[in-house]
Amino acid sequence: MIELRGEIALVTGAGSGIGRAIAATFARAGATVHVADLELGAAETSVAAIVADGGRAVAHRLDVRDRDACNALGEHIRERDGHLDVLVNNAGVGHVGTLLTTTLEDLDRVHDVNVRGTFNVTKAFLAGMVARRRGKIVNLASIGGVVAVRDRLAYCATKFAIVGLTKCIALDHARDGIRCNAICPGRVETPFVAARLAEYADPAAARREMEATQAIGRMGTPDEIAHAALYLASDAADFVTGTTFLIDGGWSAGK
C-alpha cells in the first residue's frame, strides 16, 4: 500500500481529467491536496468529491501563466502548511496543426501554458524544497514528448520541452533531495478528448482511430495515470529521478 500520509501536495489543472484523478488518488493515500485550476468552480468540484470520500483538500484558482499568482500561491501554502512535499504540474493545453497551419500566436499560447506554466509553478516551490532537502516533482508530459505525433507540432514541441526541463531539474538538484520525473501518457479518456472527438464529422470513427494508436487497442483512463503519479510521488520511488515514465498502451513499442 503506497501512502502519502501527512504529505502536502499541489496538483495543477486538477479540475477535471487526469489532474482530478491524481488529486483524488493522493488524498486517498493520506495527503492534504491543494487543487488548483484555471476554473475555480472545477477545482471546488474536485475538492467536494475528495472531502465526500473522507479526504483533505483545498481549492484554488490559478493561472499558471501568471508568475505573480504562482508565487502568491506558494506563499499561501507555506503560511498554511509550512511547506510543500509533492508538486504535480498537470495543467496544459493542446493544439492541432502542422508547422504550415500553426501560427506564432498558436505556438505562444501552447508554450505559455505548458512550458512557462510548469516553469512558473516549479519556480514558486523549488527553493523551499531545496531548503528542506526534500521534494517530489511530477511533470505531465506526453507520448508527444518522446515521439512525434502527426499534426501536433506545437503540442509536441512543448512536451519535448517538458521532458528536457524535467531532466535538467532532476540532474541539477539530485543531491539537494529533490526528485523530478515526467509521466508521458498515450491517449487517455478525459473530458478534453471527449470534446475533441465530438468535433469530428464521424466521432465513432475518430474514436476507433485513437484507440487503434495504442497497441493494446484502447485509450487509457485517468486513474491509470494517477496510480503512476502516486508511485513517483511516494518514498517507494526514492531511487527514481529524471525519468520519462511512458504509460502509452504500447504506442511507442514499435518506434
Active site residue 200: no
List the catalytic residue out of 26, 119, 125, 155: 155
d(CA 130, CA 174): 10
Edge-to-edge, what's the strand order for the sheet holding 32-37? 56-61, 32-37, 8-12, 86-89, 135-140, 178-185, 244-247
**Cell numbers at 98, concatenated:** 502542422
Cβ neighbours around 137 below 10 Å, total: 27
**Dist. CA 109–CA 24, nearest whole Å:** 29
63: CB partners within 8 A, 6+ apart: 38, 69
Name the helix (H) or strand (E) containing 181.
strand 178-185
Q: Which residues are catalytic?
A: 155
